[in-house]
Structure 1
Amino acid sequence: MTAQTPAIDFTHDPELRSWVASAGVRSDFPLQNLPFGVVAGTTGVAQHDAPRGVVRIGDAVLDLRGLAASGLLIGDAQSAAEAAAHGALNDLFALGSGPRVALRRALHYLLIEGAPRQDTVARLLTPLSEVDVLLPARIGDYTDFYVGIHHARNIGALFRPSDPLLPNYKWVPIGYHGRASSVRVSGTPITRPNGQLKATDAPVPVLEPTRRMDFELELGVWIGPGNRLGEPVGLDHAESHIVGYCLLNDWSARDVQAWEYQPLGPFLAKSFGTTISPWVITPEALAPFRIPVDRAEGDPAPLPYLDSPRHRSHGGLRVELHALIRTAQMRKDGDTPHLISRSSSRHMYWSVAQMITHHTSNGCELRPGDLLGSGTISGPTAGSEGSLMELSHGGSAPITLPNGETRTFLEDGDEVILTARAHRAGAAAIGFGECVAVVRPAIAYPTT
């Protein structure tokens, strides 16, 4: 597979607008974004509720099955629309960037102000409020990384104040294999898990609902074309395997994790649930927001397989990330969500390309629809911490909300909302939408 860098072209022109009224400059989903997703419900001219692939534009979705049957597409764009027409996007993911880019350009032509055939395309649009949004793909495997160095330092400092980073951190992109079966789309409630807890002064552990439930502010990465078992992916080819990005909340039970993680790492403290945003934000949409990859002075240079001049010049990504909370009382009172963290993907110590290259360096096979998590992306300053574990300093410093409520960790009824937006001068801003879930009470463990 050839190396590829998403190119900036006419589809990124910030002066261009869509004839879809809701896709204005304040929308997360203007003409320059055009992310993929899957919905159920009547869409466009379709008269049944089967899941189908769509593209989001403003507050509407465009039915790709109907578009594929419309005669408005040709060549690779037609092939991509046909591949995306089903109830999961894995076939589209497998095609690679060529057909995906062709479809993006065709959609841009059909949705731009003054475009021909607007009446035909308009019949394929459905308000988002009239459909159910689903997971965009069948997730075969899910791997969560730990590439946020400020998060690693903050967590490490709670246990090793004098030496928070473990010796391997600046040499190897650390990750663990998560549980794909418990990944859910935004809007699905998350149930507080039961787990083994052991207080420091307790002689034995107990099985109880976690008392330290936490969120994690992360980027998700969708894998497109895979690699064959035994064949590593080189760094300058890694981005050819990325089909898109999303927001990801890898919920954590910190007290369960503290007891179970030694010697093998995360297990039940993580596998009870992961929430992702539903829209696949393509590498093409994010092309204007690429940045160089920098290492701090004095840090070791990556091993050669994780380094190249090309990667250093453009391998980073700048997306602003936010975490908000709204308690049950806040919802009852009609209060708006409260921003508790503001961070950026530029704080990732290891890039997405480095994550993929290292993941496959032993010959591990990735497949279309696999999902990667970045790990918690915290920033270096107060208010940029991407988890309550950090924000509350391990539970010792509660945060106070505008209505006077306090939190060290999440309580039942709390709603966590993650958002993201990419913007810079000379480019149209695009967003990711929301990644949101409400914490439900634990289910009583059966006694017989």
Structure 2
Amino acid sequence: MSDVSATDGFGLANLPYGVFSTEGQAPRVGVRYGDRVLDLAAALDDPVFSEPTLNAFMSLGRAAWDDTRARVTELLSTQPDHPALIELSDVTLHLPIHVPDYVDFYASEHHASNVGRIFRPDAEPLLPNWKHMPVSYHGRASTVVVSGTDIVRPQGQHKAPDADAPTFGACQRLDVEVELGFVVGMGAELGAPVSGADFAEHVFGAVLLNDWSARDIQAWEYVPLGPHLGKSFATSISPWVVPLAALEAARTSTPPRTHDLLPYLQDGDDWALEIDLELDVNGAVLSRPPYAGMYYSGAQMLAHLTVNGARLNTGDLYGSGTVSGTQLEQRGSLLELSWGGKEPITLPDGSTRTFLEDGDIATIRGSFVGAGGERCSFGEVTGTIVPAR
């Protein structure tokens, strides 16, 4: 009998979903258990798990999600060497969801304040609307990619502060953003807002997310309408979707507020999450941002996302925005860690970085304490920077 220890991050308290393939076989749905993947199509004999994404399964709703989790837990508890378990080293992992729509929020007060101090040193760090609603931008779903996908350095317009006109060329200030992404399972009709109280009925689970950012392109384009080409070239997510049921044990309350929220945002304060995150560049851990300090919860982000009646689709993805804490070693982007490029970061090999160079490998990891005190892992999301084309 195999022993899946409680410390490997993928025990019974976790059981994240992903999409995998084996040689000569089409992609299908699996659950990670230790260093193996349970082939759900084979183990549960249900065609919904033979699909190449999680969308068909997620669209079945909360009762089906809970039933499947209970069945998988029972199966692996009694048969930890089930014949449908495949070694992780023998599979290829794929983008786990088809993403119809993607939105990225800006929900960390510490990140937003740092960015304000960097770009507006003589003004208030936070803009007037920030503590009244979770600010966001509408991203590009077609460039969401799975961990391990190379990131091509983007090109675009950028303008130096002392230049009279913009120039065109490869991004020189390529950055990472340590984030959590929420995956919508059950959609909602056009014109039907979703309350934060119904978060768990609509959101299937969460992934690690890296919202790669071209800071020089972004700085020139974002006034007055916001980020576009500086963000839309790539967004990487981890291959494993941790179900919301596993994250129940990590629930906590959002930080104290200085402003009362409007009624539609008042539900969901109890959906903050105690998640430990880590940013690694070229094998060196640069920061450990704490997710628990996020000013807005995933439930409040969902309520704001739909309050105008916007349609919600199965597979929609929304990011938390960069996660940062109060300390230098808790900043979730190179923009903050190098303070806008003014304070280079020294890596263990003696080299320095303000932003990413070609060949750099950026990795985000995440974990939390699940049911029974078991340490649960999100795995990682990683990408290697390759030269502009």
SS of the counterpart of 2:93? strand
Which of 129, 138, 143 pairs up with 2:98?
138
Which of 175, 178, 195 pairs up with 1:214?
175
Per-residue CA deviations over 1:133-178 (Å, capped at 9, x if unaligned) read 0011111001111101111000000122241100000001111110
SS of the counterpart of 2:243? coil
Measure the CA separation in 2 of the matches of 1:438 and 1:422. Answer: 26
The equivalences for 1:52-131 within 5 A come to: 52-69=28-45, 81-112=46-77, 115=78, 121=82, 123-131=83-91
Task: Report the Cα offset of residue 106 of structure 1.
Answer: 1.2
Aligned identity (percent) is: 45
SS of the counterpart of 2:231? helix
- Does residue 1:304 correspond to 2:274, yes or no? no
Q: Which residue of structure 1 lines up, in the alignment, with residue 379 of structure 2? A: 433
Q: Which residue of structure 2 lines up, in the alignment, with residue 289 of structure 1? A: 250
- Structure 2, unpaired ranges of 5+: none
In the superposition, the TM-score normalised over structure 2's length comes to: 0.97
Task: Report the Cα offset of residue 26 of structure 1.
Answer: 2.2
The equivalences for 1:183-332 within 5 A come to: 183-296=144-257, 299-308=258-267, 311-312=268-269, 314-326=270-282
Measure the CA separation in 2 of the matches of 1:430 and 1:50. Answer: 28
Moved more, 243-252 or 94-103: 94-103
SS of the counterpart of 1:270? coil
Conserved 8 A contact 2:13-2:371: no
Measure the CA separation in 1 of the matches of 2:254 and 2:125. Answer: 23
Measure the CA separation in 2 of the matches of 1:96 and 1:149. Answer: 33
- Does residue 1:411 correspond to 2:353, yes or no? no
- Structure 1, unpaired ranges of 5+: 1-18, 43-47, 70-80, 327-336, 444-448
Task: Report the Cα offset of residue 424 of structure 1.
Answer: 7.2
Task: Report the Cα offset of residue 426 of structure 1.
Answer: 4.9
Measure the CA separation in 2 of the matches of 1:234 and 1:106. Answer: 29
SS of the counterpart of 2:327? coil
Measure the CA separation in 2 of the matches of 1:20 and 1:274. Answer: 36
SS of the counterpart of 1:84? helix
2:63 alignment partner AA: G
- Does residue 1:166 correspond to 2:122, yes or no? no
Conserved 8 A contact 2:246-2:371: no
Measure the CA separation in 1 of the matches of 2:160 and 2:253. Answer: 45
SS of the counterpart of 1:152? helix
Measure the CA separation in 2 of the matches of 1:306 and 1:257. Answer: 29
Conserved 8 A contact 1:193-1:210: yes
Moved more, 200-209 or 246-255: 200-209
2:48 alignment partner AA: A
Structure of greater Rg: 1
2:287 alignment partner AA: S
Q: Which residue of structure 1 lines up, in the alignment, with residue 14 of structure 2? A: 33
Q: Which residue of structure 2 lines up, in the alignment, with residue 361 of structure 1? A: 307
Conserved 8 A contact 2:144-2:235: yes
CA RMSD after TM alignment = 1.4
Measure the CA separation in 1 of the matches of 2:32 and 2:85. Answer: 9
Which of 364, 374, 378 pairs up with 2:320?
374
Per-residue CA deviations over 1:43-101 (Å, capped at 9, x if unaligned) read xxxxx4201000110111111111133xxxxxxxxxxx542331111011111121111
The equivalences for 1:325-344 within 5 A come to: 325-326=281-282, 337-344=283-290
Per-residue CA deviations over 1:151-207 (Å, capped at 9, x if unaligned) read 100000012224110000000111111011111100111010011011122222111
SS of the counterpart of 2:42? helix
Measure the CA separation in 1 of the matches of 2:215 and 2:41. Answer: 44
Per-residue CA deviations over 1:340-365 (Å, capped at 9, x if unaligned) read 01011112111100000011000001
Per-residue CA deviations over 1:279-330 (Å, capped at 9, x if unaligned) read 010011111111122324xx1111111114xx33x2211101110010xxxx
Conserved 8 A contact 2:370-2:376: no
Per-residue CA deviations over 1:204-258 (Å, capped at 9, x if unaligned) read 2111100000000000110010110001112211221110100000000000011
In the superposition, the TM-score normalised over structure 1's length comes to: 0.84
Measure the CA separation in 1 of the matches of 2:254 and 2:216. Answer: 35
1:441 alignment partner AA: P
Number of residue pairs the alignment of both structures matches: 388
Per-residue CA deviations over 1:13-66 (Å, capped at 9, x if unaligned) read xxxxxx543x31221211211111001214xxxxx4201000110111111111
